[in-house]
A and B are shown apart, each in its own frame.
Chain A
Amino acid sequence: MAPATQYELSPPPGDAISALAFAPNGSTKLLAASWDKKLYAYDVAKPDSSLIKTYEHRAPVLDVCFGDNENEAYTAGMDWVVNKVNLETGEMTEMSKHAAPARCVVYSPAHGVLISASWDCSLNLHNVRDPSSTPIRIPLPGKPHAVAASPSKVVVAMTGRIINIYDLQTIQNLFSSGQTELKLWQQRESSLRYLTRAVACMPSDAGYATSSIEGRVAVEWFEDTAESQARKYAFKCHRQPAPDGDGDIVYPVNALEFHPVHGTFASGGGDSTVALWDAEAKRRLKQYQKFPDSIAAMVFSKDGKYLAIGVCPGFETGQEDYSGEGKTSILIRELGDNEAKGKGAK
């Protein structure tokens, strides 16, 4: 077995990382969205000269996702705009504009649907297959904080512990029908008591995981039967004993990602640790050594061989100022063959 390694991409982004994305189709291209208003493209297979290009935005970039191929990306930013970025030429096209910062973008290649979520409490649905079409605005009952797509569904986590689930096929049908009213597939109340921090969907399309600011992760299933709903559970994680010995410090779980091959998932928290979990067996597979700072974002490569971890200082309650400058880094972990493989239910 080839020795698995961990290395840092250089140069790192100039400020805090908001999102990471790996290219589709087994490419080793990694995108990093940063608060320094730039989008960074790296090639993780070249540890020494990994930076390919940067793409200047008008405002901090809050999220990024790839389009149909490794040269097409979408970004959401503080300037309210959802952009399409041609990664080869650097050309940027405005896809739509919200009435507040755009927080998340997700793209479903199977449906050609690009979804952006904004703090103006709305989703914009873009039909990528028809560039001339106008995006459809869908109002939300709360401010969205995290969005994730499974092969057939989109999960939107909002303030007030509301979770809306939409069906991607319904969205696609909406485009062809010309209507603008999207019927949501299901609304759920979050299983977690605190503000949702991250959402990730199982690659198997069976369910999703959510995490909150209060060191906890919940795993739920889409299937709406009593048996499936009875299977959902939540657990505590990303807590560290307080230095004064009095109780624990509870950190937010900032990042959740399912492994595309093994179906296990990783969580990254404000406690600077990353853990691998087996959702089926309800077991922790691994806890990595502490990273230099809080984990802001994480992503597995599509073949599951790499785990990219965005590290920068976490934002703490009561913090007056913030800067991730000089303290931000992206670490690539080359996973061993069975590193993220579940051990099977015991």
Chain B
Amino acid sequence: MGKKRRGHADIEEILGRPWCYYCERDFEDLKLLISHQKAKHFKCDRCGRRLNTAGGLSVHLNQVHKENLDHVENALPNRQGLEVEIFGMEGIPTEVLESHRNRLIQNFYQAQEDRRIATGNPLPGQAKEPRKKIKIETAEELKTRLREWRARRKEILANGGSLESMMKSAQQQAAPAPVPAPAQQQQHYPGQQQVPPQGHFYGQAPEGIPARPPSGPPGVAGLPQRPGGDNIDQLIRMAEAGVKPAAEPEKASKKDKKGRMFYDDAEISPEERMAKLPRYAFTAA
């Protein structure tokens, strides 16, 4: 099979690769997978013999070395069990196959999306559909907008409104034109939310606000504003990658998860404790 263009395999190719149930590594072909399993997971650590299955190794250990196999070596924590009989791709439980497949598909699209964002190139097969049209105002349109703005300024000044609020609304109006860079957009979001309703012209203001990127799920909007301000690119990327904002605190709490200590005295050693027991006491003569 020849190498694909750009070195990115397509999804069928990825899904077709044999992979190891015990460690989730994938291989070029089944033969390699089987020799991997024999070397990494079914090898007897007493005599180096490579067995075909975990069951085979268990029997070998039992008969030759009088030992019991209680887990498969080098396996992922939840895959160490001996209950499943694995040989190559045979014997993998359906639900494990399914979740592996789903994970591959998800990873594949995420990688594709990451590449798209990193390179700016459209997805394969979607090249004709431009992602965003740059809006260029004609001189006529610009003039119309200027006229509208002047009319509104007049109105506000006549009604006793402040010039400051006028400027704010003007900024909002100006935002979409002519080429809004993503970073600029982001800067306006927080400001906008903080602007209190100002008189009757408030109703007009939203017209000029650029729509949020449609790709963002509602979750992203709920993200707290972090100090330092992350740019919108990152938010979008997170949203596209399916990272839910809730994942962050969850991760932190996992890290905080303290195990219970079997012995937790930071000053006195277990031996000193034992030495105090009457059983071991010694009184110097």
Query: Which residues on A are within 8 Å of B, measured CB to CB?
Result: 1, 3-6, 16, 18, 35, 58-60, 62, 77-80, 101, 103, 119, 143, 145, 159, 194-195, 197, 213-215, 239, 242, 247-252, 270-271, 286, 289-290, 314-317, 319, 321-323, 336, 338-339
Contacts and interface: CB of A to CB of B under 8 A. Distances in A.
A247 B274 contact: no
28 contacts: A1-B47, A4-B47, A59-B280, A59-B282, A78-B280, A78-B282, A79-B284, A103-B271, A143-B272, A145-B271, A195-B266, A195-B267, A213-B270, A214-B261, A242-B259, A247-B257, A247-B259, A247-B260, A248-B260, A250-B260, A252-B262, A270-B262, A289-B67, A289-B68, A290-B70, A315-B273, A317-B263, A317-B264
B48 interface: yes
A16 B274 contact: yes
Contacts, number: 114
Nearest to B46: A4
Given A80-B284, A252-B263, A290-B70, A62 B45 contact: no
B263 A314 contact: yes
Nearest to A324: B274
Contacts of A1: 47-48
A42 B223 CA distance: 67
A6 B259 contact: no
A133 B170 CA distance: 95
A339 B47 CA distance: 10
Given A194-B266, A290-B70, A336-B46, A250 B261 contact: yes
Contacts of B45: 286, 336, 339
B270 A252 contact: yes
Interface string B116-149: 0000000000000000000000000000000000
A315 B257 contact: no
Given A78-B275, A101-B275, A213 B282 contact: no
A50 to B, nearest CB: 18
Closest A-B pairs by Cβ, 5 of them:
A248-B259, A59-B282, A315-B270, A250-B259, A78-B282
A248 to B, nearest CB: 4
Contacts of A250: 259-262
Interface residues of B, number: 34
Interface in B232-285: 257-275, 277, 279-280, 282, 284
A197 B186 CA distance: 54
A192 to B, nearest CB: 11
A18 B271 contact: yes
Given A1-B47, A6-B67, A79 B262 contact: no
B153 to A, nearest CB: 63
Interface of B: 45-48, 64-68, 70, 257-275, 277, 279-280, 282, 284
Contacts of A247: 257-260
Contacts of A271: 262
Contact of A249 (B46, B260, B265): B260
Nearest to A290: B70
Contacts of B273: 315, 319
Given A4-B47, A251-B263, A336-B46, 4 more contacts: A213-B261, A289-B70, A317-B263, A322-B274
B254 to A, nearest CB: 10
A251 B262 contact: yes
Main SS of the interface on chain B?
Answer: loop
A58 B282 contact: yes
A319 B268 CA distance: 14
Given A6-B67, A249-B262, A145 B257 contact: no
A1 B108 CA distance: 45
Contacts of B264: 213-214, 317
A195 B272 CA distance: 13
Nearest to B267: A159
Contacts of B64: 3
Contact of A315 (B67, B274, B282): B274
Contacts of B263: 213, 251-252, 270, 314-317
Contacts of B267: 159, 195
Most chain A beta-carbon contacts within 10 A, residue among B262, B269, B273: B262
B271 A62 contact: yes
A162 to B, nearest CB: 12
Contacts of A80: 284
B61 to A, nearest CB: 10
A239 B275 contact: no
A32 B273 CA distance: 21
A172 B47 CA distance: 46
A286 B262 CA distance: 23
A254 B267 CA distance: 16
Contacts of B259: 215, 239, 242, 247-250
A62 B270 CA distance: 12
B282 A195 contact: no
A5 B282 CA distance: 39
B144 to A, nearest CB: 65
B282 A242 contact: no
A119 B279 CA distance: 19
B202 to A, nearest CB: 52
A214 B48 CA distance: 34
Nearest to A193: B266
Contacts of A248: 259-260
Contacts of B48: 1, 336, 338
A87 B48 CA distance: 39
Contacts of B284: 79-80
Most chain A beta-carbon contacts within 10 A, residue among B66, B261, B267: B261
Contacts of A119: 272
Contacts of B260: 242, 247-250
A294 to B, nearest CB: 9
Nearest to B265: A317
